[in-house]
Structure 1
């Protein structure tokens, strides 16, 4: 599982590896994407 703050780097993986994707919003519009993949 990995999480990146918006604008704080680039992460990529093949779509077939993704098992769950979630967008989390914080205070004052901050947020991040959370991606889960099997075997990681």
Structure 2
């Protein structure tokens, strides 16, 4: 996805590495949470 490249670019440009990874971890955790919730409804 083109958006992924844009997000990675922003991370490299404007975030210190630790800030970027913390943000990625938060986003990843949210996605996993949503995925698990959607699986529970089945």
Fold shared by both chains (TM-score > 0.5): no
**More strand per residue:** 1
Largest Rg, 1 or 2 = 2
Instruction: Please give the TM-score of this superposition, normalised by the length of structure 2.
Output: 0.20
Structure having the higher helix fraction is: 2
Q: What TM-score do the two structures reach when normalised by structure 1?
A: 0.20
Q: Which has the higher contact order (CA 8 A, sep 6+)?
A: 1
